Structure formats: C-alpha cells, structure tokens
Amino acid sequence: MSVGAVGKTWEPLIGVEEDDLERWDLEVAGYQLDATLSSGQTFRWKRVGGRWEGVIYGRWVRLSQGHGGLEVWTVRSGDKTSGVDWLGRYLRVDEDLDAILAEFPNDPILEEAVGRWRGLRLLRQDPWECLASFILSSTKRIPQIEQVVGLLCERYGERVPAPVSSGPWYAFPTVERIAGLSEEQLRTCKMGFRAPNLLACARRIESGELDLGRVVRMDLEEARIELMKVSGVGPKIADCALLFGFGFERAFPVDVWVARVLRRYYFRGRAVPLPRLRAFVQRHFGEHAGYAQQYLFHHIRHLDSL
DNA sequence: TTCCAGGGTAAGC
DNA sequence: GCTTACCATGGA
C-alpha cells in the first residue's frame, strides 16, 4: 500500500495505485460482456479503454473480456471476503445460458436476436439500487439515466476505494441516506418530477411498509402489486426491478422499444393496446421470458429500421 | 424550434 | 378497458 497507513490508526485507503489491485479470472464460455453491460439493465458501468469499470455491492471492479472467460481486477483488501464469488453471482456466470436460450419459442425475430447477441446475460443486481434506478428511468434515454444515477451516487453515496487514475468512485446511496434527504436535494441530480417518487420509495422501505426481502419471496403477480404501491412505479418499472434486481425470470418489461417490436413482429404492425401486449408476452415467452425480453430489447436497439 | 426519451397518473371517453 | 395531457430535462 502506498499512503494511508500512516501512524498507528489505519485509515481506509480511498485512492489506490495499480499495484494495490488484485487480479482474478472468472471462467465462463462465450460471455458477451459489452452487450451485457450496455443493454440498459444497469446504469453504473463505464467503458474505460476497452475495459469496464463500475461499483458493485459497494466495491469497485474492473472487467475485461478474456479468452476463456473474464478478467477481473479488484482493490486488494485484507479482509476475509476475498475471492470473487459475489461478482460471479452478479454476472450470472454460473448459469447454463445455452440451455435457457434453447427453450425460447421459435420466433424469427428472437432467433435473429440470439444469433447476433448470444452471450448476453441478465445480471443479479441489488434490489434497492435496481428499483431506485428504474424509478429514475421514466421518459429518459439511457445516457440520461446514467447521468442522473451518477450524480446521485456522487453526491450522496459513500466514496469507495478505487485507483486514483480512474477518478473517484461512489457506492449507490443507501435507503437511509436517500430517505433523509429533501426533494430539493434530490432535484439537484436532475431527476425532475421523479424526485418525490424516489423519496417516497426510500421512506416506504425505511418505515418497513415495503420490505424488499419479502418481495423476493413472493410470486410474480404479488410482487408486482407490492412494488406498484410505490408512487411512480407502474407495470414497466416494476417488471424491470423484478427481472434485474429481484430474480424474477418471468418478468417481461414492455417499454416503448419492446412494444414496437412486439407490434411489428407478432401482430403484423397492428395498433395493439399496451395492456393486451402485456397479456400476450406472459402467455407466449414462457419460463425465461425475461431473458427473451432482454435479447429483443438489445437487438432492436441496434437495428436502425423500425 | 420541435420532438422524444427502457413511464406513471388521473381524468375523460 | 383504452386514450390523452401532464409531469422535468437534455440532446438530436
């Protein structure tokens, strides 16, 4: 370690050097890191010269696509929680992706999406961070969501140890931290009319009215209803949070993009109402509907037609 | 300038 | 049950 361990009291090191990093390998075949981290399910990763950097569960991480899997860098820490099992869980490297993709329905557009993006995976994100981020996502483009979430972390999140060369990094703010802020303080992060919604959500969790740990154990319909009690959380945001943060693999968020591709490829371009689309996807896409949705979403965003 | 963005809500048909 | 105006903000 370079600085920080001066004198008797050891102070946690915030800015570290490259020498203070630990390197790991995550063995996994055909992981599409770029597609996974840029597919609009998370807003906290930055591409830094061919690699990805971000903060997961309060820890800074650098990731790179290797040959037999993923290369990982973390900040060396003396504590017992060494290893990167927590990261493998986040990235779902333990999952048999081919088996999942094999169970997709035989749709031309879905096969096209899998053909191009095979290796794209869902992530297991922190439920609170995920729910909060998607409350901030409504009527915003992905770069804007990244900006708002970034500002929120920068202003109200704890700074975490990271290489000095890569700039300051912050954890996502805790429920308690957000709950203690004012609407005006949140609005300084450019979240506009979403500020009262995020605040109400944090306070609802803090008061115990909303128990995220309990939501995880509910069935999908019950969980949706529970999340939709939060002001600013409707069907789409609830489904995003449930799919990306709460482990509900049948959740199928229908946003403007997915609605567009559904109408075009499954309803011959007819003006099918949104509620009918939602009913359709629950019937049609089966057990891994959430995965199918993510492939469709990512694929159509890379098609310049439509 | 005008339009739209990984929407939700409430009012009105 | 479905459609519409409105809610901030920034980028094309």
Predicted confidence (pLDDT) per residue in A3-42, tens digit: 444 443 445 679 999 999 999 999 999 999 999 999 999 9
pLDDT value for A9:
47
Output the distance from A42 CA to C11 C1' rounded to whole Å: 21
Residues in chain A: 306
Mean pLDDT of A183-201: 96
Which structure tokens are listed for A165?
């060369």
Nearest residue, CA→C1' of C2: A273
Check if the beta carbon of residue A70 is closer than 8 Å to that of residue A31: yes
Q: What pLDDT shows up at residue A11?
A: 53
Alpha-carbon distance of A70 to A63, in angstroms, equals 7
Q: A183: helix, coil or strand? A: helix
Q: Copy the structure tokens of residue A93.
A: 């490297």
- Measured from the CB, is A32 under 7 Å from any atom of strand B? no
- Within 7 Å: CB of A39 and strand B? yes
Q: Which residue is nearest to nucleotide B9 (CA to C1')?
A: A232
Q: Which helix (H) or strand (E) holds A283?
A: helix A274-284
| Band of residue A1 on the pLDDT scale cut at 50, 70, 90 | very low
Beta carbon of A257 within 7 Å of strand B? yes
- CA of A237 and C1' of B6: distance in angstroms? 9
Mean pLDDT of chain A: 93
The pairs formed by A44-47 with CB atoms below 8 angstroms and a separation of 24 or more are: A44/A129, A44/A146, A44/A149, A44/A150, A44/A153, A44/A172
pLDDT classification of A305: cutoffs 50, 70, 90:
low
pLDDT value for A256: 93
Residue A167 half-sphere exposure toward CB, CA atoms < 13 A? 8
Q: What pLDDT, in 10s, does the model give residues A119-177?
A: 999 999 999 999 999 999 999 999 999 999 999 999 999 999 999 999 899 999 999 99
What is the residue whose two structure tokens read 């057990």? A287
Based on the number of CB atoms within 10 Å of its own CB, is A156 exposed (0-12), middle (13-18) or buried (19 or more)?
A: buried
Q: Which of A11-15, A61-65, A254-258, A267-271 has the lowest mean pLDDT?
A: A11-15
Q: Which strand C nucleotides have any atom less than 7 A from protein CB atoms?
A: 1-3, 7-11
**Taking residues A228-251, what's their average pLDDT?**
97
Determine the longest span between alpha carbons in chain A, in angstroms.
Answer: 72
- The pLDDT assigned to A303 comes to 86
